[in-house]
């Protein structure tokens, strides 16, 4: 899959690896970056390497929840037997959903993804319809300070396993992009993984062993993101958390740290999770789950700065 994606995507190897980790963990991924960095192209290219059903939704201010989930329509029965309600499924009934520019639609429409991302089902009226596995959502997001965007609700953000920041390419990478996209020849990736293969790999990831010490480290790391004024723990206060954070990460963060650590170990040919795996995944797992206060904005501190302080403070071994 890396080879096939590399035929189209120049650089961005860290982003590609995190996309693969999210896919193997049955998680969902939020790609964050300014327009033009190839976020949509990365998601579409990843989808082409998979023999899965793929659908794309362009989120706009006038998009309605039923445009995503589907709706009941009145259908006339044959032979003049009256009318009946028929459910017409929306694009969310797929294996791989690309939610493009998800923060350009109001929270009411964003919420249409909540049940599907967590429970793999959609409720319409009095009926609940299951979504066939595997189910993987990749959402792209523009920086919130740009015109025409809406903040993502905290409940929506928390359902994304990773928040991946897509950076600008280097000069050499940008030159390669220009050369590869301004000629007459185009390269298409090939499908290398079927639905059954992916489901089997997802089960293998979950069977990777992890020691109690690593689990406790991940739990203490997540617990330390919560200010003592909201979580009355017996640990020592961490200055950056107490000063800049209003609310910390939910238990989903600990689950994501360990599960992603298992997938990372498998991709690197190891059979166990260690402390380094948890540390390397702390930023994409935690950055969107920390709610910073006005002190953070005033001091020009973002969630990555707070996570750096957290990793430097929380020890691997429980004291």
- Token pair, residue 61, equals 């201010």
Predicted pLDDT at 319: 58
More confident site: 81 or 69: 69
**81 φ/ψ angles, rounded to the nearest 5 degrees:** -85, 20
For residues 125 and 271, the model is more confident at 271
- Cα 112 to Cα 138, 161, 187, 224, 249: the distances in Å are 15, 18, 35, 32, 23
pLDDT tens column, 133-163: 999 999 988 876 666 778 888 888 889 999 9
pLDDT at position 75 over 90? no
Averaged over 212-238, what is the pLDDT? 83
The Cα–Cα gap between 16 and 65 comes to 30
First to last CA, the chain: 42
- Model's pTM, two decimal places? 0.87
pLDDT tens, position by position, 236-282: 778 888 888 888 888 999 999 999 999 999 999 988 899 999 999 99
User: Using an 8 Å Cβ cutoff, are 288 and 155 in contact?
Assistant: no
Q: Which two tokens stand for residue 99?
A: 């939610």
Q: How confident is the model at residue 230, as a pLDDT?
A: 67
| CA separation for the pair 186, 8 (Å, rounded) | 9
- Mean pLDDT, the chain, whole residue set: 87
Whose tokens are 């301004």? That residue is 182
For residue 297, what pLDDT is reported?
A: 81
Q: Residue 280, Cα to own-chain centre: how many angstroms?
A: 16
Instruction: Render pLDDT for 150-203 as a digit per residue (tens, 0 to 9).
Output: 888 888 888 999 999 988 888 988 888 888 777 777 778 888 888 899 999 999
In CATH, which of 1.10.8.80, 3.40.190.290, 1.10.260.40, 2.60.40.10 is domain 208-313? Answer: 1.10.8.80
The number of beta carbons lying within 10 Å of the beta carbon of residue 186 is 9
Query: Would you kindly state where each structural domain of the chain is located, as residue ranges?
Result: 1-195, 208-313
| Whether residue 134 has a cis bond before it, omega within 30° of 0 | yes
- The 10s digit of each residue's pLDDT in 32-58 is 888 877 888 888 888 889 988 899 999
For residue 52, the 8-state DSSP code is S
3-state secondary structure 283-319: HHHHCCCCEECHHHHHCCCCHHHHHHHHHHHCCCCCC
pLDDT at res. 205: 93
Q: 193-215: b or e for each residue (b if 16 or more CB lie within 10 Å)?
A: eeeeebeebbeebeebebeeebb
User: Considering only CA atoms, which of 149, 148, 115, 117 is closest in space to residue 133?
Assistant: 117
Q: Identify the residue with better confidence: 310 or 150.
A: 310
List the CATH code of the domain at 1-195.
3.40.50.300
φ/ψ bin of 65: left (φ > 0), alpha (ψ from -120 to 50), beta (otherwise): alpha
With a CB cutoff of 8 Å and minimum separation 6, the contacts of 14 are none
């Amino acid at each position: 899959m890396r080879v096939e994606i590399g035929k189209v995507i120049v650089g961005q190897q860290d982003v590609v690896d995190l996309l693969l980790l999210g896919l193997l963990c049955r998680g969902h991924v939020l790609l964050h970056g300014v327009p033009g960095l190839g976020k949509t192209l990365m998601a579409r290219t990843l989808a082409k390497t998979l023999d899965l059903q793929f659908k794309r939704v362009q989120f706009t201010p006038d998009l309605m929840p039923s445009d995503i989930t589907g709706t009941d329509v009145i259908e006339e029965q044959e032979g003049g037997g009256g009318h009946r309600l028929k459910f017409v499924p929306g694009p969310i009934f797929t294996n791989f959903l690309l939610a493009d520019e998800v923060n350009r639609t109001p929270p009411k429409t964003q919420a249409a993804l909540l049940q599907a991302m967590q429970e793999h089902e959609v409720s319409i009226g009095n009926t609940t319809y299951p979504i066939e596995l595997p189910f993987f959502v990749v959402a792209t997001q523009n920086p919130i300070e740009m015109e025409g965007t809406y903040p993502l609700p905290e409940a929506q953000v928390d359902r994304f396993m990773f928040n991946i920041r897509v950076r600008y390419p280097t000069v050499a990478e940008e030159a390669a992009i220009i050369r590869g996209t301004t000629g007459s020849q185009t390269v298409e990736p090939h499908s290398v993984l079927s639905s059954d293969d992916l489901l089997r790999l997802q089960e293998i990831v979950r069977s990777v062993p992890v020691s109690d010490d690593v689990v406790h480290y991940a739990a203490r790391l997540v617990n330390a993101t919560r200010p003592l004024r909201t979580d009355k723990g017996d640990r020592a206060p961490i200055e950056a958390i107490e000063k800049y954070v209003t609310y910390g990460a939910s238990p989903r963060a600990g689950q994501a740290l360990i599960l992603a650590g298992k997938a990372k170990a498998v991709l690197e040919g190891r059979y166990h999770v260690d402390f380094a795996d948890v540390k390397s995944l702390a930023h994409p797992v935690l950055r969107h789950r920390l709610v910073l206060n006005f002190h953070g904005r005033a001091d020009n501190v973002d969630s990555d700065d707070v996570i750096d302080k957290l990793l430097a403070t929380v020890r691997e071994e429980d004291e």
